Chains A and B, each alone.
Chain A
């Protein structure tokens, strides 16, 4: 079983996000980066499948400038066997179709059985790159995986539907599956893993930038124009005013 896991380096949840003066993107120099949350779960799921099968290969694949080697090393330290770094400036680039094409080119000749991606990235939130790669490479696809079972030339995926519903879907291999956060408990790298990662191969490819099919005009901070009516007083007064508001203003009673 040969599994590619796409890992993306994104701003951490607590990172500052100062906007560049021309609004073309955030000031990347001020950003604290980390591995995209759902990609971390995708990596764990791939490592677990390799361990359960007792054989196979997990390859971490990432696209971006030099700084992303940090998440590539992290994936290797956690147990990925080797990595592919698609070298590309990504500031202000937002086109999943172009990105997916670059990944497909880098992965095509590897003939992976599985491609795992996180459900969506915490920066752009496009949520489609893995599925597009699968479609380009002629693989079956599924999104929002909450559990996986591999066997008999298939992968069974427990897909999250809306409103608390789920569905098991069986996909013929090769398959590209997007992984939802929370389906496993991602491991931390061991000291041995961190040391071993230094010896693992990172293949760097340097394709040219494709013409984007969608472009960013600007980024900006959302403006709130909402007026909030504050309800004050003792607890009993507040409760009285709330009931009045429910009845007369919101009209739900």
Chain B
């Protein structure tokens, strides 16, 4: 195959950004006339392989090894490296997840092949892909290409491609063996845990109600909580709200928080600093309410209201509860 898509496990389902990677790979395959394959591994490998086989992918490879049953950077990097050597793809596509950031650079080092990270787009230039990446914390775009011969490792930013665009199909599953032993795993991992009770998974929320500095003070946060409840959404925030201690960090969206792409993102009193925008600009619909008509959030909003969030939020909650 020419393009290998590495799919990540999210509790027995393909990680959302894995589905986006499938869409990205399908676009590249179409533009460049290439074939695709997907790689799954881990304790949920069977379930992931079955899900992956329902997409328009050349074939699905499943790695069975006790050393990749649970995640370790050493185990995953070695497994992916060996599959790349066996299958010899020209491009290896990842979602730019935290797990990928942890182990994919090791694959790059093992193969001495570049890892082009966090891209937002790809286009073909004379049969070679050119990738678009944000730089300077999102203030500038850059066009980047790989040099020499592949395989090239590529990751795409959350929501660079829509998972809805991943074409369905029917792919066969092939077992793939790797040669890993215990001495290669230099880390010991404890069980994952959440910092506080009721940690929120913003990444799977359909509606997000997000507050920024414009909420004014901690005492006003419940107003937004009530609105989130009334509309059936999750409460999120920009970094200043978390830094002030008004909400736990699990609610933070942005470059140092979570990246989200809900059906609707309601930005309340959020100015739209790039550190926040990179985490939410993939939302299907962005509704912004801000006092400042010049706030950069309006540049990316689908719907905008110039107004006082503290006046509008309670009225909106009331209207929704009727």
Determine if A136 and B144 form an interchain contact, defined as CB atoms under 8 angstroms apart: no
CB proximity to A under 8 Å, residues B75-118? 77, 97-99, 101-102, 104-106, 108-110, 112-118
0/1 per residue, B112-137, Cβ < 8 Å to A?
A: 11111110000000000010011111
Q: A229-B304, A243-B319 given as contacts; is B140 within 8 A of A131 (CB)?
A: no
Q: In the complex, identify which listed stretch (B37-45, B61-69, B172-180, B306-314) lies at the interface while the others stay far away.
A: B306-314
CB neighbours (8 Å) of A140 from chain B are 74, 186-187
| Most chain A beta-carbon neighbours within 10 Å: one of B73, B134, B319 | B73
Choice from B105, B146, B264 contacting A131 with Cβ under 8 Å: B105
CB neighbours (8 Å) of B104 from chain A are 128
Could you tell me the distance between the alpha carbons of A224 and B300 in the complex, rounded to whole angstroms?
7
Q: In the complex, identify which listed stretch (B20-28, B47-55, B189-197, B211-219) lies at the interface while the others stay far away.
A: B189-197
Sorting the interface of chain A by its residue count into under 10, 10 to 19, 20 to 34 or 35 or more gives 35 or more
CB neighbours (8 Å) of A163 from chain B are 199-203, 250, 258
Taking CB as reference atom, which chain B residue is nearest A242? B316
Q: A95-B114, A128-B101, A216-B142 given as contacts; is B307 within 8 A of A240 (CB)?
A: no
Confirm or deny: A218 has a beta carbon within 8 angstroms of a beta carbon on chain B. yes
Determine if B112 and A164 form an interchain contact, defined as CB atoms under 8 angstroms apart: no
Determine if B143 and A211 form an interchain contact, defined as CB atoms under 8 angstroms apart: no
Determine if B106 and A131 form an interchain contact, defined as CB atoms under 8 angstroms apart: yes
Q: A96-B105, A162-B203, A228-B303 given as contacts; is B194 within 8 A of A250 (CB)?
A: no
Choice from B105, B137, B284 contacting A128 with Cβ under 8 Å: B105
Q: A11-B136, A228-B302 given as contacts; is B117 within 8 A of A94 (CB)?
A: no
Could you tell me the distance between the alpha carbons of A182 and B114 in the complex, rounded to whole angstroms?
29
Choice from A124, A213, A246 contacting B113 with Cβ under 8 Å: A213
Could you tell me the distance between the alpha carbons of A141 and B78 in the complex, rounded to whole angstroms?
13
Q: A96-B105, A214-B147 given as contacts; is B192 within 8 A of A161 (CB)?
A: yes
Chain B contact surface mostly: mixed
Q: In the complex, identify which listed stretch (A167-175, A186-194, A199-207) lies at the interface while the others stay far away.
A: A167-175
Taking CB as reference atom, which chain A residue is nearest B117? A126
Choice from A13, A131, A214, A250 contacting B285 with Cβ under 8 Å: A250
Choice from B189, B231, B306 contacting A252 with Cβ under 8 Å: B231
Could you tell me the distance between the alpha carbons of A185 and B194 in the complex, rounded to whole angstroms?
23
Choice from B113, B188, B312 contacting A170 with Cβ under 8 Å: B188
Sorting the interface of chain B by its residue count into under 10, 10 to 19, 20 to 34 or 35 or more gives 35 or more
Min Cβ gap B123→A in Å is: 11
CB neighbours (8 Å) of B141 from chain A are 219-222
Q: A142-B73, A214-B145 given as contacts; is B109 within 8 A of A135 (CB)?
A: yes
Interface, chain A (partner B; CB < 8 A)? 11, 13, 17, 19, 26, 94-97, 100, 122-128, 131-132, 134-136, 140-144, 159-172, 180-182, 211-222, 224, 226, 228-232, 235-236, 238-240, 242-243, 245-246, 249-250, 252-253
Which 10 residue pairs of A and B lie closest in terms of their CB atoms, listed nearest first? Answer: A164-B250, A128-B105, A135-B109, A213-B114, A164-B199, A140-B186, A131-B105, A217-B143, A214-B114, A168-B190
Can you report 24 A-B residue pairs in the complex whose CB atoms are below 8 A from each other?
A: A95-B114, A100-B109, A127-B105, A128-B117, A140-B187, A161-B98, A164-B199, A166-B194, A167-B192, A169-B188, A172-B187, A212-B147, A214-B144, A214-B147, A217-B142, A218-B142, A219-B140, A222-B141, A224-B299, A228-B299, A229-B302, A231-B305, A235-B315, A242-B303
